[in-house]
Each structure stands twice: as structure tokens, then as C-alpha cells.
Amino acid sequence: MSTSTPQARRPTIYDVAKLAGVSPSLVSLVLQNPAKVSEKRREAVKTAIAELGYRPSRAATTLASSRTKSIGLVIDDYRNLWFVDLLRGLESVLTEHGYQVMLADSRPGENRIKEAADGLLAMHVDGLVIAAEPGATALSGTEVPTVVAGWRNGVPDDADLITNDDDGGGAMAADHLLQLGHRRIGHLSGSGGAAAHRRGGFRDRLHQAGVEPLIVGEEGDTTEEDGYSSACWLLDRHPDTTAIFAANDTMALGAFGAIKARGLSVPTDITVIGYDNSALAKSRYLELTSVDNRSDVVGVDVAKALLNRIQGVAPVSQRKLIDPILVVRGTTAAPRS
């Protein structure tokens, strides 16, 4: 004899409709396209859903609408803190429209990125966000609306691209160091599209001031270990360096290690600027001066562009730049005389 207690019946869309005083089709519309429903009815349906604990069947929704209400996001390095704020911005918009984000992480490389994108496409996502270095062919034949987040190499002209103004951010870092009086300035860079733009803006602004930057790591990655090894190389060969601009906050952390290993301190001996204004930069331990690339805003605009593509209201591809902001903290100072 079974002693288990029967489970309560799961609430249905008809239960929600009855409690909210609307039709089942209107409940379905709220779940799939809430913007088309008046605020009063939308709130009534949401209240009923919360009260009943109703969970819509994703499989049923897919069959009814031929959409999965899911978006694929491809990244190439989960260690990069830039993705955290990007994802937060994406989800702040997509969840309001009933979409969930499916994440695929892959190491850099054209074939690997394409494999990750193909894996998401096999799950019948309604759209793709590429936040990785795709190469010339990784974006071809995606068959769904696709938006690229951040500067990437090999992005087709007909693809939507939403990114930080990294050239402007690099120039902003250069201006700050020049205004402090630095002239022996190193830059820890990397091989990706974003790093190239940050490097270009930084280098050009220094050249305008008659200063030749010491650039290291153009062909490498942008991890903490890369920051450490590049800073070691720089400081060993150019011990008169007074300031370092790192391509991201993670590399700046590696630079801190190299500086400390040589018995030097920040900013007394060497000034350090990072990029991304990540949680790492904001920590009380580092208090790192950093260029805020506002990646959460990039995520918001990427989501809006993708929804427009999905809904067929964006026939022309767009390029949009988000202006950065320099956040000055305790790691920058004038050079010692």
C-alpha cells in the first residue's frame, strides 16, 4: 500500500485566466509579448501567476509560437570580468520579454567559437549574441538574428555591432597619465579586437603629445598571468617606467604582482590604470583607477537590437558606440621627481 501523499494539481493557464478575470489567450500574450497588453491587465495576470505559482510550459510555448524564447550567448573566456556586466545588461531587458539566456563558453579560435554557436543553434535559439572573436566565417549561416557585442575581428558589415568606444577609452587613459606628468609609460595589451582599439586610442594620443609608449603583449591573451609576465618584461627592460596602462583590470592585477615582486609600490613608484571598471577595480584592496566601459549599457543595447531583429523591425544593420568614463581611484599619482 502506498503511503505517499498525492501532489497538488499544477495550476494551468486557465486557472490564471480565471483568477485574473481575462481570457487564456490574453494570459498567453502577456507571457510572450507583454508590451502589447495594457498595464492594468498585465499586472492582473502577473499577480495571478504569482499567487498561483504558475510556471508556463516552455515546450508548449515553443509549439504554439515556433519560438523557444531563448537567446544564445557565446563568450570566449569566462574569466574575463567584462562578461559579468554584459550579461546583467542583457538579462535586464530579455527577461522582461520572456526570454532566457543560454551561455556557451569556448576558448578563442574561429572553429571553437563556431562550434559553440552551432551548439546553441541546434537548441533552436531565437537569436545569438556573439561576445567572442568569431573570425571571418563563424558568423556565416547562423540562420537567426545575430548581434555582436564588443569589438571583434572579422565582423561582417551587415551584422549589428554594439560596443564600447575603446579608442576613446584608451585616449582617456593616456590623457590622465599625461596630465599627471608621466612620460615613461608602458601599456600591457592583447591580441583581441577590443585590446587593439584600446591600444590604438592610447598610442595615438601619446604620439600627439610626443611620447612613445612601451607596448607589450600585442600577440598574447589578457589574463592575470599575461599581465604579470608582460609587466615583468617591461619593468626588467625599462626600469625607468613610471606608469602602466593595462588592457583590462585583470591584467592590471597581474601588473600589481610584478611591481610588488620588485620591491616597488603603487602608486608611489609606479602608477597603474586598468580598463572595464570591474568589481576587481572597485574592491577596497585595490582601489584601481579604471576606464569604465559601461558594459552593462552595451548589454542593454545589444538586447534591444536583437529583439528588434527578431521582431523584424530593424532592416538596416547598425554600429553603436557607448561612451566610456574614467573612474579615478588610488592607483594613479604624479611621478616621483
CA 3 to chain centre: 52
- pLDDT per residue of the chain (337 residues) written in tens, 0 to 9: 444 444 567 888 888 889 999 888 888 788 777 777 888 888 999 999 989 888 776 555 554 455 678 898 888 777 777 788 899 999 999 988 889 888 887 665 556 777 777 787 777 888 888 888 765 455 665 678 888 888 876 666 667 889 999 999 999 999 999 999 999 999 999 987 889 999 999 999 999 999 999 999 998 888 999 999 999 999 999 999 999 999 999 999 999 999 999 999 999 999 999 999 998 999 998 999 999 999 999 999 999 999 988 888 766 677 889 999 999 999 999 998 7
* Pick from 309, 296, 312, 295: nearest CA to 71: 309
pTM, full prediction: 0.74
